[in-house]
Structure formats: structure tokens, C-alpha cells
Amino acid sequence: MIYNRLDYSKIKHFWDERAKRDNSVENPGNLEDDPELNEIKVALEKAKILEYITLHPDMYLLDLGSGSCFWSIFLAKKVKRVVAVDFSKNMLDLGVFEAAGKGTTNIDFVQSSCQEFVSKRTFDIVFISGLFLYLNDPELETAMSRISGYAREGTRVLFRDGTGVRERYEFRNRYSPGLKAYYSATYRTREDFIKLFRSKGFDLIKDDDMFPEGSPLNKYPETRLRIYLFSRNTLY
């Protein structure tokens, strides 16, 4: 099946402009501008993420699609080093500024798309947050091949992304009053993600909706923000 392609220039423009407009919002990458809901969302996600992974001071972590580096800075306290990769310089600049303000010195900032990023180092943890929404299928395949290249047996991938509840759900260049901008995204299904990761040698360990049923953070019936933990298997 052929789907409508995402326009990367428009997506990059969206994130560059959001970085300019929302540089005072905690974690502007989470697209929640209501201060009360944002506070609840951040707290719930922090707890869920730490429930899903065990971090050690000798670990190397890759934050792929890091945005403003909110998660990089949060997780950097618990590991040896973080590599934060994002295609938006404006978003990365927010991260550099915030990390400096908090005295966080163990983050390397890299401006690159996930499809083009390569690393000679393998990572203990690959954290992917709200990234695959913005990739077309061929580019997603390329990104997964890259990820496979810097993973080793036992590498964990903590994957946080919007997911279609019953089927793949997509929209293109639609105006969002809440975001005050035109927005495009593709919400693949849970089964799509499991199949994709399995094809590159990653087994699903566990997964869940990020927020409980009935939460005001579950804003749309067609989609849910979900969290997945994958592990690189021994056979790939």
C-alpha cells in the first residue's frame, strides 16, 4: 500500500519554529502547552521511563531524535555519557543552553537526521522518543538499519511514540489550533512497530500505553502515546 508522503521540509520548519516560540516550556517536544497537563505528563512519563529501564553510571545512551534534549538531560544524571541527535539546530541549541545552565557536561550534541547518523560506538541504551511519527516508510527502514548498526547483543531500545489504536492513522499538513501550526504525522500500529523491530533483530520485552485509560492526556480516540522496550537478540 502506498501512503501519502511526509514533507520533511515542513516538519523541520515546524520544529525549528516551535523551538523559537516555546523555549520557555518544559520539554517543548512533548506538544503539551497546557501548563497543568504538561506538569502531569512530564511526571508520569519520567516515572514510566525509569520503570522500564535500569540505568548504571557506566552506560552509554543514545537519544535519537532528542529535540530540545529534555530527556537527554534527565537521563544523563544516571549514565556515563549521552549522545543527543536531532535534525533541528534550534532544538539542539535549547538543549545546549539548558544543559549548561544545569551543569550537565556528559552530553554530546549532534545535528543530524536519524537516517544519516552513524556511530563507531555501540550503545547500551537507545532512546527514541516521538521520532518515527515523522518518517516515511523508506526512511524508517534506513533509520532502523542504522540503529541495528550501533546496537550489540543485549542493547535495549526504549521506544516512545504515538501509535494508531486500531489502524495506521496519518494526516498531512493539517492546521492544529492547539499547536497554532500546521502539523503532519504518521501513527503506525503496535503490530507495525513490533514487526519492524523484529526484522532488525530486536525482541519486544514489554510495552504499554503511557497514560492510563480515561486520562485527559489521551486526547484522541484514534491514537495513544505508547512505550515499548526492545532488546537486541543473539541471532541477528
pLDDT tens, residue order, the chain (236 aa):
556 789 888 888 888 888 887 655 466 666 777 788 888 999 999 999 999 999 999 999 999 999 999 999 999 999 999 999 999 999 999 999 999 999 999 999 999 999 999 999 999 999 999 999 999 999 999 999 999 999 999 999 999 999 999 999 998 888 887 777 888 899 999 999 999 999 999 999 999 999 999 999 998 899 999 999 999 997 65
195 CB-near residues (< 8 Å, 6+ apart) = none
Task: Determine, yes or no, domain membership for 99.
Answer: yes
Instruction: Please report the pLDDT score of residue 25 as a whole number.
Output: 47
| pLDDT for the residue 28 | 62
Task: Write down the pLDDT at residue 176.
Answer: 80
Residue 5: per-residue pLDDT: 87
Query: How far out from the chain centre does Cα 223 lie?
Result: 16
Residue 3 lies in a domain: no
pLDDT of residue 22: 61
Is residue 1 one of the residues assigned to a domain?
no
In a domain, 173, yes or no: yes
Domain around 22:
8-232
Q: How many domains does the chain have?
A: 1
- pTM score: 0.93
8 A C-beta contact, residue 137 and residue 210: no
- For residue 163, tell me if it sits in a domain: yes
Closest CA to 200 of 163, 162, 146, 161: 146
State the CATH number of the domain containing residue 97: 3.40.50.150
Kindly state whether residue 221 falls inside one of the protein's structural domains. Answer: yes
Q: Do the domain assignments include residue 196?
A: yes
45 within domain boundaries:
yes
Nearest to 134 by CA among 52, 82, 67: 67
